[in-house]
Amino acid sequence: MPDDMLTGAPVLDLDPYALDTLREPWGFHAALRDTGPVVWIPKYDMYAVGRHDELRQVMSDYRRFTTTGGIGMSDIRKPGAWRSPSPITELDPPAHTPVRAAMNRILSPLIIRQWREVFTQKAEALADRVVEAGEVDAVKDIAEAFVLDAFLTVLGVDFSPEEFLVIGDMNFNQQGPKNALFEESMRQAEPIMARYQAAIQRENILPGGFAEQILLAEDRGEFAPGTGPLQVRSFLRAGVDTTISGIGHALHYLARDPAQWAALRADPGKAKPAFEEAIRLESPAANLFRTTVDAGAEISGLHLKGATKVAMFMGAANRDPRAWDDPDRFDIDRNPAGKHVALGAGDHICLGQNIARLEAECILSALARRIDRLELTGTPEIRLVNTLRTLKNLPLRLVA
């Protein structure tokens, strides 16, 4: 590949958002890693990283790669920005630090542990129902049914679960290019946007959830005035579709590998590492962005021009052979937590990671205690979304 004269980075003339690539990104990921530590993708006037080492640097070094341009493809600082910045994900330290500290108090490990009982009850009841049904679409009947119920309950937001998925498509398409997927998801979301916006406003937040705690923290002056509802929105954007994706992919890998399912049955404590391995391999938050600071940024001997987007492909880094042995193998004993970048890295590392893990642990272990075998009864499809990697369906027979 020729070097780009403007940037010094090798050019990768591929479209990461082509539908075939969204379905099967592995060829693109390999080309991205093999072309260079950072590449230039002309179609979108952006840099991209897919190697584990460089991706971690871009993700975590705000002095070179800022979040204030937005974690999506468009620069939210430019006129006509399509939404207001997130008051947590799109702030660099030092502005980010007190916001994050206040959130860590609201979502302390002690508080999250108290939700175990709620999640366990919901997981056990759902597992009984699906075992009784025998044949299910594990995305709709297990992953979506469980997360939409469990997470929205502890958050305390009253919004129709089905409509929520439409909003999720919109959010994760908006983070990428303005292509046909984006246009279609905007069209689908338009009739429900007003209800969604209303659901995160102060007067509609349900008592007892952590959304209420966010608003109380705003009252105490821990967040900038007026940003409480936007904070709640950040949780809805970040916490629902990603966890559904992780649980769906975990069930898919376990269904394809009866020995690993048997290992999980023998020790349901392996539910957490199984989930961790599934999100390493499939990386639900498939692609996020940073922006080079105005002066430009040095990385791996290349000088990148300033104020330019850098796309991070987490799925590529999480299968980078430079970082992982036998990277494509699903192995519930690998336990890649802390090394994979599916949950981010650095100051913005996922705030809800222990909630996601707890949800996954409760539902996967409830299923493992009841089900001898998971049998695929059809070929699962990918839900095509620009920056989210998730299954559309997963036809399974649950043999108790």
Contact pattern from residue 289 through residue 318 relative to ligand HEM, giving x for each residue in contact according to CB under 6 A and a dash for the rest: ------------------------------
- What residue spans of 283-376 are helical by DSSP H? 314-317, 353-370
Paired tokens of 226: 């007026």
Instruction: Figure out which of the listed residues 139, 344, 367, 368 binds ligand HEM, where binding follows CB under 6 A.
Output: 344
How far, in Å, are 130, 171, 214 from residue 156 at the CA level? 26, 20, 11
Amino acid, res. 296: G
Residue 349 is given by DSSP the state S
Instruction: Figure out which of the listed residues 106, 131, 206, 350 binds ligand HEM, where binding follows CB under 6 A.
Output: 350
In the complex, residue closest to ligand HEM by CB = 352
Paired tokens of 330: 């699903």
The reply on whether position 238 binds ligand HEM by CB under 6 A is: yes
| Residue 27: CA count within 13 A, CB half-sphere | 9
Chain Cα centroid distance, residue 216: 27
In angstroms, what is the minimal distance from the CB of 28 to ligand HEM?
A: 19
Contact pattern from residue 54 through residue 73 relative to ligand HEM, giving x for each residue in contact according to CB under 6 A and a dash for the rest: -----x-----------x--
- Identify whether the C-beta of residue 363 lies closer than 8 Å to the C-beta of residue 244: no
- Tell me whether residue 35 or residue 223 sits nearer to ligand HEM (CB atom): 223
In angstroms, what is the minimal distance from the CB of 171 to ligand HEM?
A: 13
Question: In which element (H, E) is residue 198 found?
Answer: helix 193-199
In angstroms, what is the minimal distance from the CB of 11 to ligand HEM?
A: 25
Instruction: Figure out which of the listed residues 35, 174, 234, 260 binds ligand HEM, where binding follows CB under 6 A.
Output: 234
The reply on whether position 336 binds ligand HEM by CB under 6 A is: no
- Tell me whether residue 242 or residue 365 sits nearer to ligand HEM (CB atom): 242
Terminal Cα-to-Cα distance of the chain (whole angstroms): 53
In angstroms, what is the minimal distance from the CB of 86 to ligand HEM?
A: 7
Question: What is the rounded distance in angstroms from the CA atom of residue 16 to the CA atom of residue 110?
Answer: 40
The reply on whether position 235 binds ligand HEM by CB under 6 A is: yes
How far, in Å, are 75, 89, 117, 277, 336 from residue 85 at the CA level? 10, 8, 35, 31, 31
Q: Under rule CB under 6 A, which residues in 239-258 are in contact with ligand HEM? A: 239, 242-243, 246
Number of H helices, E strands in the chain: 17, 12
In angstroms, what is the minimal distance from the CB of 231 to ligand HEM?
A: 8
- Tell me whether residue 35 or residue 318 sits nearer to ligand HEM (CB atom): 318
- Identify whether the C-beta of residue 289 lies closer than 8 Å to the C-beta of residue 311: yes
Residues that bind ligand HEM (CB under 6 A): 59, 71, 88-89, 100, 234-235, 238-239, 242-243, 246, 279, 284-285, 288, 342-344, 348, 350-352, 355-356
